[in-house]
Each structure stands twice: as structure tokens, then as C-alpha cells.
Amino acid sequence: MHFVFATRGIQHAVDLWHTQMQGVWLPFKRTNLDTKQEENTNVQMALRPIQLWEAVFPHDCLDIVLNSLEINPKGITEPTALNKYAWLMRKGLGLKPIPDEIKPSLTFPVFHQHIHFFPIGIKDDIIEDCDFKARGRWHQERL
């Protein structure tokens, strides 16, 4: 059985919940195919995160971020069946598609082995005049 859900809360509370969920063991019935005997055992709950993230950075750094995470042009991912879900999520979140072309760029070192990045879309920031009082007035992106 699979129960898919989202969490929202104070990070240390979510971390504590996550740690405790990893220690849950539940009864599990199965039948031995050779003896036809039913067996009762215990199995540890598998907690598999499916997380939605938003990374916020200056517009001019888009290629650096996409290249650092090894995102393909148009956001094409494997398995390809996931790409139709990206379209649905992009529409629901009001995002634009990943660009058709990602220019070669520098990359930043970040661990990303054993992590599947499922690209959904991008969104431009509002660019406007900002008054930071004593720190000055600037025309900039609202990161």
C-alpha cells in the first residue's frame, strides 16, 4: 500500500517526525509458496520522500544552476513517462518550461549523485525599484 502526501511545518519538527517514521515496524503477513503456510513477520515502513523544491537565484545564473544539476534542455528526464507530469505540474504552478537550449557554463560543486532531479519549470522574478532605506535604493529582481 502506498500513501502519498505532503508535509509542511517547522523544519526541526518535520525532521523529528521523519526520524521517528523511519523506526516504525508493522506486522506483515505472507504465504510460503512451497509449504502454503501463512507467516507473520514484521517489516520496516519505507519512507520515500517526494519533495517539491523552489531554488531562487539571479536570472543571469539560470544556465549555471541547470548545468550544475545536469538538467537537460527542455527538462527532458528519464523515465520519459514523467515528462507528461511535469507539463501538468508546470501548468498548475504557473511556470514556464525549461529552455530549449542551456548554454555551456561554469558549474558549482554540489553533491547530486543518487538523486533524481525532476525538472518542472521556471518563473521569472518581478524586476522593480526597491527601497531598502539606509541600505539604499536599487532597481533589481525581487528574489
Please give the share of the chain, as a percent, with pLDDT higher than 90: 62
Over the chain, what is the mean pLDDT?
90
| Claim to verify: residue 66 and residue 22 sit in the same structural domain | no
List CB contacts of 56: < 8 A, sequence separation 6 or more.
Answer: 125, 143
| Claim to verify: residue 14 and residue 25 sit in the same structural domain | yes
Instruction: Report the C-alpha gap between 44 and 13 in whole angstroms.
Output: 22
How many other C-beta atoms lie within 10 A of the C-beta of residue 67? 16
Backbone CA torsion sign across 91, 69, 113, 21: negative
| Claim to verify: residue 27 and residue 67 sit in the same structural domain | no
Q: What is the DSSP letter of 73?
A: G
- Of 51, 72, 88, which residue sits at a domain end? 51
Tell me which residue range forms the domain holding 34.
Answer: 1-51
Instruction: Report the C-alpha gap between 101 and 103 in whole angstroms.
Output: 6
| Claim to verify: residue 72 and residue 108 sit in the same structural domain | yes
| Claim to verify: residue 99 and residue 136 sit in the same structural domain | yes
The pLDDT assigned to 5 comes to 73
| Claim to verify: residue 29 and residue 83 sit in the same structural domain | no
| Claim to verify: residue 142 and residue 92 sit in the same structural domain | yes
Alpha helices in the chain (DSSP H): 11-21, 62-68, 83-93
Instruction: Report the C-alpha gap between 57 and 125 in whole angstroms.
Output: 9
- For residue 86, the surrounding DSSP H or E stretch is helix 83-93
| Claim to verify: residue 4 and residue 64 sit in the same structural domain | no
- pLDDT tens digits, one per residue of 57-100: 999 999 999 999 999 999 998 888 888 889 999 999 999 999 99
- What's the total number of domains in the chain? 2
Instruction: Report the C-alpha gap between 59 and 57 in whole angstroms.
Output: 6
- pTM summary value: 0.72
